[in-house]
Structure formats: C-alpha cells, structure tokens
Structure 1
Amino acid sequence: MSRILLVDDEPQLLRALRMNFHARHFTVITASTGQEALDATGREPPDAVVLDLGLPDFDGVDVIQGLRGSLDVPIIVLSGRADTEEKIRALDAGADDYLTKPFDMDELFARLRAVLRRPTRAAPGPTARIGVYKIDVTAGTVTGPDGHVRLTPTEWKILTILLANPGRLVPGKHLLREVWGPDAEQHSNYLRVYFAGLRRKLEPDPTRPQYLITEPGIGYRYNP
C-alpha cells in the first residue's frame, strides 16, 4: 500500500483528496504548510507527494527543492497557477508532473499511477574502488594506502552520483541540477573545478584519468 503525502492549505480540498485517496486504499499523510510537509517527510518518508504551490509559509517551488534534498519519490504539483513559466519552474525544481486546478480526480490518479511505475534513480552500492582507494558510501569515507582521504561535501555529491551509474555517461547538466539546483545548468565551469579536485585526490595520474572520465561537451563517467 503506497503512502502519499498530500500538501495543500485549502481545508476543503485537502479533505476531499484525503477521502479519495483513502477510498483507493492509499495511506495518507497531510500537511497544510511547507514546513509541515518537510517535517512529515523527515518522520515518515512517503512513496509520492501531491503538492500545492500556493502555501502560506514557503513558495511551493522552494518546498520541492527542499524535498528533493532528501527524497527520491514522485512529486505531482496541483496548482491554480496555469502559466507556462510556473510549470517550468516547478518541473525544473524536481516535480515529476503538473496538474492545473480545477482538475479531474480520475486524471490525478492516472498520473499518480504513471509516476509510481517509473523506476527511481539508482543508489550507489555500499562500497566501490577507484584504483587503490576504497570508497565506503555508507560510512562516507575514502581510504587509501596512506589512510583517509578527505572529500568536500560537494565532491561527495558528485562522486556518489557517478558511483550510482558505473560505466554509464552522466550528462553534465544532470550533475549540475542534482548538486547545485536547476539554475546552475549553464555553469559547466563548476564541474571542471570539482573534477580537477577529485582527480588530484583519487587518480594515479590526474592529467590522464582512468576512473573519472570526461566525455567532452556531454558529461562524465565513472569507469570501474
């Protein structure tokens, strides 16, 4: 039975949503503010989120970004904001779908079923190796012949995304969105700087990388 977080500050709509979700045998968590939504996910992570953008405390787009910091579950936006720019903002922030109010309840559930069928992003394995270095993802440590190697939080974010996709190309824009947010897509220089640092720490010869590979103009690859 899927657990759904419903976030809306309209009591009547929230009540109607809760009744309809219960009737379809979903477990329901409700929140009427952005802070309540963030707190609820920390206590009991849902399988999907249905979120209104017009919340009294935070802009809904900021809530999406906050949720994406700790959740990898589908997010469907329900909003009275019908203009294209608002839809783009929400989708770029990490929403999976966008439904404009007033909406058809059957359409909402059809879209929810569709996003629940999508596979979630892969998680890195508990350990990996880069040459002589052992990466313990669970413990957050890198160990080499001379002991522990310190990585910055940003280097860790980049590395764990690559480790979750061994041998596969990860587009540069995807890395920028995941690490710095949707507004960073044009800042490819960020990646150049951080990959240079990772290679200095982990590659036998940083000028000729064997494990952290750049595909020029496209993205990056972890070569196991």
Structure 2
Amino acid sequence: MPQSKGLVLVVEDERNIADLQRRYLSREGFGVHVETDGVAALAAARRLRPAAIVLDIALPGMDGMELCRRLRAEGDWTPVLFVTARDEVTDRILGLELGGDDYLTKPFSPQELVARVKSLLRRAADPGRDPVRRLGRLALDTGRRTLRVDERPVELTTTEFNLLAFLMHHPEQVFTREQLLAQVWGYAGYRDTRVMDVYVSQLRAKLGDASPIRTVRGVGYGVTDTAR
C-alpha cells in the first residue's frame, strides 16, 4: 500500500509493542520507522524529519523526556506523543512542560494510538479560518503557524499553538477544560483535565505580560483584549 500520510517515528524498546504500533499505523497509510534507543532515535529524528513521533519515556541510552527536550532546544517542533507505563501526574506534567503534545499510558488500545496520532497531525496541519489573527500585542499567523508578540517571534509547540489559536478565534468566550480538550485535542472524555492547566501555564509563561488568557474561577479559560 502506498504510504501517503507521512512518516511516524516510533521510539519503543519493547519489540512486541513497537511491532504492534508499526502494524496499526501502517494499516492507516503511515510510513513507520522504529528505533529502540534514545540516541539512535534522536539521530533518526534529525535525519528523517518525521511528521510525528510516538515516544516511549523509559529508553536505553537516552530517555524520552531528554530526547524531546533536545529536539525542542534545537527548534524542532515535530508533534510528540509520549507513550509510557508511567501514570504519575508529575511525569505527565513534566513531559508536557518539555514540549510533548499528548500523553498515552500503557496498556493502551492500538486504535486509540492511531486516533491520537491522526489528531496531532490534523491539529498541526489545520490553518484555521483566518490566516492572521491579532489580539492585543499578539499576531497569530495560522497559515505559517507563527506567533509574534510585539513583532518578536515566540516558539510554541503544536498543542500550545492550537490552544491559543482556538481561544483567539473565540475572544471574550469562556470554555471549560473539557470543552477545550474536545475542541483542541479532538476527543472528549479525557480522564485528566489538569493537563489543560499545564498548557495554559506554559502559554502564559511564554507570552509574559502580553498574555490575553484569563481564568474564570470554577469555569475555565478564555481570552480578552486586556492582558492579565
């Protein structure tokens, strides 16, 4: 079957799990390249420029979090889906803070893995309705997927960008965490809505005092023309 949906780099040291991921992603038309240790995976990510990375955390050579950190430090914002046996909130938060875009805990359904990868790629490719959206000191270009604050470029992960784009397309509206997960991530019923707080915190840190994001206690988040 021709591979037309892009290359996915699978980084997994358990061969049976890697084979399962390869099989299901290939069925959906993705090209799949597998690496079993972090050092080789980093080299493969630099060489192959995949459309997405499915990344285990506990790896020989270099763990997945360090691999993600190095890619982001190099300016590589390829969507990253962490897959791990760890289910601690602190691990999930750390992975997201390092630039991960989503998190899947083992054991998982291979169909859910495929759905998460598709969702990541849709979010990365969606140009939005208006090419450029301005709000306060922010200029968000959804065609080029760039953000400028006071004409200064600011680097965002795929998920950070899509969250900010969604909020900026709905100014002065307030959304619950569940609504944002459904609209931005593309699926509802996510068991840990606290990940939304992590992304909002990261966005605020990157935007500084130009951040238009406001918290409505007991409800959720929205944006306003007055930075808070």
Under a length normalisation based on structure 2, what TM-score does the superposition of the two structures give?
Answer: 0.55
Q: C-alpha deviations, 1:131-187, integer Å up to 9, x for none?
A: xxxxxxxxxxxxxxxxxxxxxxxxxxxxxxxxx53566879896xx9xxxx9xx7xx
Q: Is 2:147 the partner of 1:165?
A: yes
Q: Cα RMSD (Å) of the superposition?
A: 3.8
> Residue 166 and residue 87 in structure 1: after superposition, are their counterparts in 2 closer, same or farther (change >3 A)?
closer
Contact 1:50–1:75 at 8 Å: present in 2 too? yes
Under a length normalisation based on structure 1, what TM-score does the superposition of the two structures give?
Answer: 0.56
Secondary structure of 1:54's counterpart equals: coil
Q: C-alpha deviations, 1:91-111, integer Å up to 9, x for none?
A: 110110000000011111111
**Aligned-pair CA distance for 1:15:** 1.3
**Aligned-pair CA distance for 1:26:** 0.7
Q: Is there any run of 5+ residues in structure 1 with no aligned partner, and where?
A: 123-163, 192-214, 220-224
The sequence identity of aligned pairs, in percent, is: 31
Give the structure 1 partner of residue 106 of structure 2: 101
CA–CA separation in structure 2 for the residues paired with 1:65 and 1:167 = 24
Bigger relative contact order, structure 1 or 2, given CA contacts below 8 A and separation 6+? 2
Aligned length in residues: 148
Give the structure 1 partner of residue 52 of structure 2: 48
Give the structure 2 partner of residue 75 of structure 1: 80
Larger radius of gyration: 1
Secondary structure of 1:21's counterpart equals: helix
> Residue 114 and residue 168 in structure 1: after superposition, are their counterparts in 2 closer, same or farther (change >3 A)?
farther
> Residue 121 and residue 217 in structure 1: after superposition, are their counterparts in 2 closer, same or farther (change >3 A)?
farther
Give the structure 2 partner of residue 203 of structure 1: none
Contact 1:87–1:98 at 8 Å: present in 2 too? yes
> Residue 104 and residue 216 in structure 1: after superposition, are their counterparts in 2 closer, same or farther (change >3 A)?
closer
Contact 1:172–1:218 at 8 Å: present in 2 too? no
